[in-house]
Structure 1
Amino acid sequence: MAIGRVISGQPLNEAEEVFTSSLRPQHLDECIGQPNIREKIAIAIQAARQRSEPLEHVLFYGPPGLGKTTLAHVVANEMGAKIRCSSGPALVKAGDVMGLLSSVNTGDVLFIDEIHRLSTPVEEFIYPAMEDFKVDYTVDSGLHAKTINFPLKRFTLVGATTRAGLLSAPLRSRFGMLYHLDFYSTPELTEILARSARLLKLDCQDGTLELIASRSRGTPRIANRLLKRVRDYAQVKGSGVLSTDIVENALKMEQIDALGLDPLDRAFLKALVTVYDGGPAGIEAIAATLGEERDTLEDVVEPYLLQIGFVRRTKRGREVTPQARDHLGLAPKKGKHPEDEPALFD
């Protein structure tokens, strides 16, 4: 059920990545939202350029779909540098990193997505590269092994992660700037959608983009994905112009409600209410009930439900809140009054 979720912050496929890339801002003044981070980055970039030095190493962390990769490309563009991209799972051994580092020029940006998934040997190999801009690379093995010290050109490492807590302390301490990306407000998402609609040459009636933004779970990637789905629906079922009815019907077809919840979110909440009497219930038990993986529920479903106050995490497990019951239209079960209980010896 979780595979291919429309409201997932993760990219669904390569085609969507290409579509999303075409809508990405290229410079800081084109970016929308995250004002505090944008101001800090702008100052750091201006200072580095005035000193003719590469930027400090940067770590962006936060939920998927908030623009960590976009900001990495923006940093490279603002510094007038080339960017080379990789990801934690792709860098298996020291040789993989050596291939990247040897081709990096002074001031270039090396972007590593999902940096928390670097293996320990690769992570330890990167430490001297980040600190001293040199690495000790072992050539051959056994009796013929020899270690060569390679000097590197001064570069900027930009890391991105959705799980900052999984980063080791030594790696985290080597980043000069750490920025946490927050969810976007509905006005900010509306502004992002307006920019995307202009790039797509899409005609929109008043209020339609706000409607899409309000169901996008504070995430630009989801907002652009929904815009694409609504555009397709408008082209086939309407005149190609986004109207309130077209947007409502398109989102209804995708089974996304007024708060941006999809069938998996509602199934999670209903399981808590109907099976576990509102909780508390352990995440393993809920996962077994829904037939989903625990990681899927913890990484994909829970963050938004916690953010909007529909679920509480307690020491004993997950509990549903009254707001969630109201949204689903599920009243709490009436407990038996002690006076109604039969006496022990009746």
Structure 2
Amino acid sequence: MPEFHDAGEVADEAELAIEGALRPHSLDEFVGQQKVRGQLKLLLDAARIQGRPADHILLSGPPGLGKTTLAMIVAHESERPLRLSSGPAIQHAGDLAALLSSLTPGEVLFIDEIHRMARSAEEMLYLAMEDFRIDIMVGKGAGATSIPLELAPFTLVGATTRSGLLPNPLRDRFGFTAHLEYYESEELERVVARSALVLGVQVPSIARDEIARRSRGTPRIANRLLRRVRDYALVHGEGSAASAGDVHAALDLYDVDRIGLDRLDRAVLEALVRKFRGGPVGLSTLAVAVGEEPETVESVVEPYLVRIGFMGRTPRGRIAMPEAYQHLGLPQATGSPLFDDL
């Protein structure tokens, strides 16, 4: 009988294939983060010369800057298999024990959002990282017995967007810690150029620059915007070529303005300026005003607005900066308590 596949499954597989193709596979292909790349290369080369697994690596920084990609590159350049997991998936010490005991010698274990692991699993990980051993408790109460279990030597690559939440004993056990920085527009233009080549779409320099400027310093966003531009060119343009006009039309259609603010960013900014006269206003009140959860406003919207100088944080709440009024084309509110806490 012929084999049939659900259309959604086929689409998901195609998306995963595209995501995989857009990821660089070596440090030489990886754009940006020059200092981190040099440090990683030295670490991996030394491990290769000595014939041992590389030291444990902690990668921190905002989402979308390449932490997962670098973990894959570490495994690829070490010629070792890669095991993927995440902090939220490890909620018991038993989950971690099962994962660690199944690793093969030299395998690279990547744990994304490592700061969200359960505390009991974190404590087990201390011994595993240092001595490649874990203690398994058998039985309960007075009759409980600890049985040591030897592990195959491995390299742990941990990724976190909130390194401050990691306990010091865990952070200290990483042999190398790197913080990834936001990208400059020139670097993002190179990311877009490489991705356009992979996707088979021609994007002139002026159009690549426009995508880069709207990507918030983040390669993941640059690739996502490029794919929307490619779709627009396929439907409304010349298919395999995207003009600067296609870029403007596509990104305007998806509500991404000239500096990368999207619908939610502008909703938060306009609520802060129009409804609260520039603030200060509490996070929960601001979130209710735009119909979003406070966590979404705090983790998704606020970091970028603060970074570009549109929003400030004070002990009394969030405030709009003069640049926010200028971007929205609004006069600064008279009598606003904008700078009361500055």
* SS of structure 2 residue aligned to 1:159: strand
Give yes or no for contact 1:205–1:243 (8 Å, CA) kept in 2.
yes
Tell me the residue number matched to 1:214.
Answer: 213
CA shift digits 1:20-79 (9 cap, x unpaired): 222101111110000010011111111111111211111111111110000001011111
Counterpart code for 1:268: V
Corresponding residue for residue 321 of structure 1: 321
In structure 2, the residue matched to 1:260 is: 260
- The aligned counterpart of 2:295 is 295
Kindly report which structure 2 residues correspond to 1:37-76, keeping only aligned pairs within 5 A, or say none: 37-76=36-75
In the alignment, the residues of structure 2 paired with residue 118 and residue 273 of structure 1 have an alpha-carbon distance, to the nearest angstrom, of 38
Q: Give the corresponding residue for 2:155.
A: 156
**Aligned residue number for residue 115 of structure 1:** 114
1:341 aligns to what? none
Q: Aligned AA for 1:40?
A: Q
User: Which residue does the alignment assign to 1:309?
Assistant: 309
Higher RCO (CA-CA < 8 Å; seq separation 6+): 1
Root-mean-square deviation (Å): 1.7
Q: Which position in structure 2 is the counterpart of 1:93?
A: 92
**Residues 231-260 of structure 1: CA deviation (Å, up to 9, x unaligned):** 111101111110011111000100110000
Residue identity opposite 1:190 in structure 2: E
| Residue aligning to 1:187 | 186
Per-residue deviation, 1:136 = 0.4
Amino acid at match of 2:289: T
The CA deviation at 1:143 is 7.1
SS in 1 for 2:28: helix
The whole-number CA distance in structure 2 between the counterparts of 1:127 and 1:103 is 18
Q: Distance in 2 between matches of 1:302 and 1:335?
A: 24
Q: Give the Cα separation in 1 of the matches to 2:262 and 2:53.
A: 44
Task: Report what 1:29 is aligned to.
Answer: 28
The separation in 2 between residues aligned to 1:285 and 1:174, in whole angstroms, is 41
Aligned residue for 1:170, secondary structure, equals helix
- For residues 101-250 of structure 1, what are the structure 2 equivalents within 5 Å? 101-141=100-140, 145-240=144-239, 241-250=241-250
Counterpart-to-counterpart distance in 2, 1:64 and 1:15:
23
Q: What residue in structure 1 maps to residue 272 of structure 2?
A: 272
AA partner of residue 296 (structure 1): T
Tell me how far apart the structure 1 counterparts of residues 333 and 205 of structure 2 sit (CA, whole Å): 43
Deviation at 1:184, TM superposition (A): 0.6
- On the 8 A contact 1:287/1:294 being kept in 2, the answer is yes
For 2:151 and 2:305, how far apart are their aligned partners in 1? 45
Distance in 2 (CA, whole Å) between partners of 1:284 and 1:174 is 37
Structure 2 length-normalised TM: 0.91
Could you tell me which runs of 5 or more consecutive residues in structure 1 were left unpaired when the two chains were aligned.
1-12, 337-346
Rounded to whole Å, the distance in 2 between the matches of 1:125 and 1:295 is 30
Match of 2:334 in 1: 334
Letter of the structure 2 residue corresponding to residue 92 of structure 1 = Q
119-128 or 200-209, larger mean C-alpha shift: 200-209
* Structure 2 unaligned spans of 5+: 1-11, 337-342
- Matches of 1:96 and 1:335, distance apart in 2: 57
CA distance in 1, matches of 2:123, 2:308: 39
| Cα distance change of structure 1 residues 287 and 15 upon mapping to structure 2, 3 Å threshold | farther
Task: Name the structure 1 match of 2:251.
Answer: 251
- What CA deviation, in whole Å up to 9, does each residue of 1:280-320 have, x standing for no partner? 11112211211211111111001111111111111221111
Q: Number of aligned pairs?
A: 324
Q: Give CA deviations for 1:137-175 in whole Å, capped at 9, x if unaligned.
A: 123546764322111121111000111111112111111
Whole-Å separation in 2 of the counterparts to 1:210 and 1:291: 33
Structure 2 residue identity aligned to 1:217: R
Question: Quick one: distance in 2 between partners of 1:119 and 1:17?
Answer: 29
Amino acid at match of 1:267: A
